[in-house]
Structures are given as structure tokens and as C-alpha cells.
Amino acid sequence: MRPERTLPGQGCSTFATAWPPCPEGRSSPRYSHAPMQHDGWGDSMTMLAALGQAEARRSGARGPAMLEAILQVSPLAIHLMDVDGTVRLWNPAAERLFGWSREDVLGHRAPWATDARWEKFRRHQEQATQGMEPPCLELELHRRDGTPLHVELWAAPMPPATTGPAQCLGMLVDVTERRRGEAHRRLLSEASEVLGSSLEQDATLEHLVRLAVPACADSCRVFLEDAPGEVRCVASAGLDAREPLNAGTPLVPDEAAVSRIIASGEPALHDAEPPSWLGVPLAWPGRKGAALVFSRTGRTFDARDVALARELARRASLALDHVRQYHEACQAIRAREELLAIASHELKSPLSALQLQVQNLRTALERSPDAVPRERLHRGLDLMGRQAKRQAKLIDALLDVSRIHAGRLELNPEPVDLGALVREVAERLEPELAGAGTRLTLTLPLEAHGYWDRLRLDQVLTNLVSNAMKYGRGNPVQVTLSSTQAHVRLDVRDAGIGIAPEHLHRLFHRFERAVSGRDYSGVGLGLWIVREVVEAMGGHVTVSSELGVGSTFTVVLPRARG
């Protein structure tokens, strides 16, 4: 007879340590022809069965002891069950995998499958005991603490005992992390496709939060920081998605926690117990103060969740950067079209005036060359000179735009007395100031030397004083120069129309103007060029203004060469 033994806690059921000889033409055990495609676990079970059969043929009691040792040290969860699911053997690896001890399960129905999952498992058991050679079966079970568990089950029938029900030996391989990794890869692949499908920031953020729910969280939110410590939710999906911050909702971190994530640039994890949340920084060029927050009521977040969240945030950042680049390109195209329209108009106006003046003078000279008064001739020539100067100024500005945009704005620093340069610019602008009825007052120190590009600094002074004269409504303009050991400061103050607060932030942008083009000529390049030149010399320019009172433009330059 074949040796048999009763395992502790097994009751009256017996466990045969050996398999019967296989029918001719079949391998041992009978399921060994099933596809072995998953990490060789089917081969391991075949080896276990073959070893048990070989040892059983030998004399003595070494076979049962050998098999018992294999069961104890096996890294695979191994169980023996009756066909109705009653557990008869439960090795240490199974205890570690599921969380139930041998005393908890022996003699009871397997506790890790319920409802439809149990029916699927039971059918597999029946097929295995009937020798139908089923392939490896993947099941979704659960651990003792309720967390989900994905396993591959390899099963084989046990040889019939003298008494007792049919039994099936099973080996279970934990593939939870493998399946989780596959799910993460699918999510990231979908994220790359979906996030890249929109060219609007709001739509991209909505796609982002909807991707995360329920694939990796119960809820997901995107927060933007408007000011340090002040955050707002701009996109949300899932459970409690519309709850405000600090509302006592356990799924949502408070404003301080979100602000810390944004400030530190590092993930934050609240995983003491469910519900838990995970936050990662979300940044792209043009917007650094943002965070992506995931919340979950079931399983707490772990290191793999953090890695997934960071990668999802990285891909979202790339998509949002593409959105930014697209809008910048559209804005550049619009700016180019606007530039062409403005430049065409601004170039045409002086040309038309110039042509008209030339035509009038020519007609007068043709009728009576000696009868044209000298004063009229001088006025005509002065007008033509001003129009030619206006054209030259516009052309120079357009050339500067091209140089700055291409990064070819060259500076030639040299020792400069800024006080002397201010006086020189004031003298050159005297005719225009007199024509506008504007009195210019200079307050200059005895010494204001530095190392700057003289021609570019002349351009800055000319633009600022000309602007003060244009928008000053004939009121006095003050130019004040002051200095410290390290810096020189220039203030150009007018008492003109002033600038509304909502226009101040864009005043130094290209093609931006704070007044109507119908009332004041210009293309909106002068102050932008001023800022670019001053910053290229290591300084900065600011403006303060009150509507209806006037404006003050301040330039601060370092004395030393940059």
C-alpha cells in the first residue's frame, strides 16, 4: 500500500504524499500539459509532483518527510482542498500571502473567495479533480484585511484515497504587483494620448483628473496657488470632488498642506490609515504653483503610487507646456499680423504727408519760382524732415524688435557720464518740447558715472522723455538723477493723463499700449525696447502711476560693468 499520513488539524481526512503511477502515454501529474507561460510555476508544480511520486516508490518513510520539508520552505502558497472547498493543507507561504493562519482555515471552506469569485474557483477545482487539465487560472481574491489580491492558480488532482472526498492540490502565485504595474502602464499610455489631445489648459486639467478616477484613486483634484498660502481647486473628479478645502472632508488635505507641496516641490503622503491622500507638485513653464492631489478610502497609498503620481504629473506638465507653446505661437502670429498692420499704417502716414508737402512745394515753384516765400519753404522742409525722422525712428524700432527677438542685441559698454548724456538728450529735444508747450526740469548730481552702452542709454532716455512729453498734456516734465556707490537711478516724472492700474502689468510688453491708437500715435514698442535694453545692462525699469495725475518711470542701473 502507498504510505499515507494525517497532517495536524486535518481531522479525519488523509493526505497522500505520492501520486499513483501515470497511465501509459501520460506525464505526471496529469495537468502537466497545461501551458507553462508564467515564470515557470507550472514546472515547479510538476517537479513537486514528480518528487513526491519518486519518493513514494522508495522503501521507508523518507518520502513523507521530504514532501513535508518542501511544503514548509516553499516560497509558493500551497493548499490542499476537498472538492467542496474545505481546506486540508495550508503551508506557511499561504499564511503569509493571505494573512490567515493554518488554525484559522483548516477544516473550513476557503475564506478568500466569495460570491461569483467562489463559483469560478469551485468550477476550476472540479475540473482539476476530474483530470480535465485546465490551464493556469487567474483569480481576484482578497486577503484577511480585505485588500484585493490577484493570483495565478495552478491545480492538480490528488489520487483517490480509500475513503473521503476527491481532493485537489493547488499552488498560488501572487501576481498583484505585476497586474498593478500593467495597469499603471496602461494608464500612463492612455494619459499620453488623452492629455495630448487638447490645446486648452482647462480641458487638459479636466482630462487629467478624469484619468485618475477610478484607475488609481477615488478622487483627484488640481490646485493652483494664486499667492503664497492661497490655493484654489480648478479641476476635480470623483468622490467628494466638490467639497471645499478645510470643510472637514477626510479625503481632502487643507490649504496649508497643499501649499507645502507646492513650496517644497516634493510629494506628500498621508497614509496613516484610510482614508488617505497623496499630493505631488505640478509645474510647467509659466506656472510653478500647482499641485495634483489623489484621495482614496480603501487601500492606503504606497511608494508605487507615489511613483505613478509623479510620472502622471510629469506627463501632464509636458502636455500643459505644449498647450502653453501653442498659445504662445498663436500669440506670436497675432503679434506679427498686428505689427504688419500697425507698421503699414505708421509708415504710410508720414509718407502721405511727405508726398503731399513735396507736391505742394513743387506746384508752387512751377507756377512762380521767385514768388514762393522763404518762410513757407522752410516750413515745408521742416515738415518733411520731421516725417522722415518719424519714419527712421519706426524703422529703427522694428529693427530692434528683430535683433532682440533673435538674441542679437549687442552692447558696447564704455565709461559714460549719465548727467552729461541727460543734458545732451534734453538739448536735442528742445524744439519738440517747445512745440508741445512742455517745460523740462533737470535735477542732476555732480557725478553719475558708470560703464554702459552710450547709444542704447541715449535711446532709453529719448523714449522716456518723449513719452512724458506726449502724454503729459503740456504739463512740466521732471528728470531726476541720483546715485549711490553701486547704482545710478533715473526718474522721469510727468503730470499727464496717467495709467489705469489694470494696464500697468502689461505696459512693458511688446505691442502693448495703455491708450487708444486713435488718440495717440505709436506701435507699442518704445517701452518694451526700454525694458530690454535696461535689463541687458543689468538694471531694471519700473513705473508708478495714478490715472489723471501722472506717471513716474524709474530706471536703476549698476555702475560696474555687467
Q: What is the distance between the alpha carbons of residues 57 and 61, in angstroms, rounded to a whole number?
A: 10
E strand or H helix at 451: strand 449-453
Q: What is 180-327's CATH superfamily?
A: GAF domain (3.30.450.40)
CATH fold of 329-404: Helix Hairpins (1.10.287)
Q: What is the predicted pLDDT for the residue at 394?
A: 66
Of the pLDDT bands very low, low, confident and very high (cuts 50, 70, 90), residue 552 is very high
Whether 308 shows a pLDDT value over 90: the answer reads yes
Say whether pTM exceeds 0.75.
Answer: no
DSSP 336-400: HHHHHHHHHHHHHHHHHHHHHHHHHHHHHHHH-GGGS-HHHHHHHHHHHHHHHHHHHHHHHHHHH
Q: Which residue has the higher pLDDT, 504 or 369?
A: 504
Q: Which residue has the higher pLDDT, 441 or 17?
A: 441
For residue 245, give the nearest of 255, 259, 235, 236 by alpha carbon: 255
Range 293-308 average pLDDT: 88
Q: What is the distance between the alpha carbons of residues 488 and 244, in angstroms, rounded to a whole number?
A: 50
> What is the rounded average pLDDT for all residues in the chain?
78
For the chain, the structural domain boundaries read 69-176, 180-327, 329-404, 411-558
Q: What is the predicted pLDDT for the residue at 347?
A: 63
Lowest mean pLDDT among 28-42, 84-98, 533-547: 28-42
Q: Which residue has the higher pLDDT, 134 or 289?
A: 289
Tens of pLDDT, residue by residue over 195-231, are 888 889 899 999 999 999 988 888 999 999 888 888 8
Q: What is the predicted pLDDT for the residue at 419?
A: 92
CATH fold of 69-176: Beta-Lactamase (3.30.450)
Residue type, 132: M
Q: Do domains 69-176 and 180-327 have the same CATH topology?
A: yes
The highest-level CATH class for domain 411-558 is alpha beta
Q: Which residue has the higher pLDDT, 290 or 380?
A: 290
Tens of pLDDT, residue by residue over 488-498, are 999 999 998 88
Tens of pLDDT, residue by residue over 152-205, are 988 888 877 667 788 888 899 999 989 988 989 999 999 989 988 888 989 999
Tens of pLDDT, residue by residue over 442-499, are 999 888 899 998 888 988 998 899 889 888 888 999 999 999 989 999 999 999 888 8
Q: What is the distance between the alpha carbons of residues 521 and 441, in angstroms, rounded to a whole number?
A: 25
